[in-house]
Amino acid sequence: MTKLDKRTERLTRALRNAGVRITRQRAALLHVIAQADDHPEAVELHRRAEIDVPGISLSTVYRTLTALEAQGVIHRHQFEGAPARFEHAATEHHDHMIDVDTGDVIEFRSDRIERMQAEIAAEMGYEIVHHRLELYVQKKKADGA
Ligand SMILES: [Zn+2]
């Protein structure tokens, strides 16, 4: 089973568990969501789904995303100054940088940061249950420019 098939199956099962009937439109939408690896917005997912199922409504996309999020299979990111973006919950833990000029979302993971966060929380008598870290960044200008 490919990664894509697994994702599609996970999403389909989650939507069924949410009590949503899997129509042909929704099946096509789930396929589009399964293929996404780039933190797309709902509007972008709608645009992609429309290629396979012309006439699919934006509200179908929003409702489906909300149901999938409630089932814990996708994460919603509310980055500053942008509509919500979505990604698969089953990816390895990582944090995000958001390029404030282009809107690009860059994934990163730093063991140093992970360790420091745990230490800081422990010093204050806590253990981390979950965290999200967002860095708002801008490309460095070339030196001497
Ligand atoms: Zn990500």
Contact 7, 88 (CB under 8 A): yes
In the chain, where the domains are located: 3-88, 95-137
* Nearest Cα to Cα of residue 1 among 49, 37, 34, 38: 34
CATH number of 3-88: 1.10.10.10
| Region of residue 46 (phi > 0: left; psi between -120 and 50: alpha; otherwise: beta) | alpha
Model-level pTM?
0.85
CATH number of 95-137: 3.30.1490.190
pLDDT one-digit tens code per residue, 24-75:
999 999 999 999 989 999 999 999 999 999 999 999 999 999 999 999 999 9
CATH topology identical between 3-88 and 95-137: no
Tell me the CA–centroid distance for residue 35 and ligand 1, in Å.
14
Tell me the CA–centroid distance for residue 88 and ligand 1, in Å.
8
pLDDT one-digit tens code per residue, 96-126:
999 999 999 999 999 999 999 999 999 999 9
DSSP lists the bridge partners of residue 90 as none
* Nearest Cα to Cα of residue 131 among 106, 99, 98, 95: 95
> Got the DSSP string for 113-132?
HHHHHHHHHHHTT---S---
**Beta-carbon-side half-sphere exposure of residue 10 (alpha carbons within 13 Å):** 20
95 labeled part of a ligand binding site: yes
114 labeled part of a ligand binding site: yes
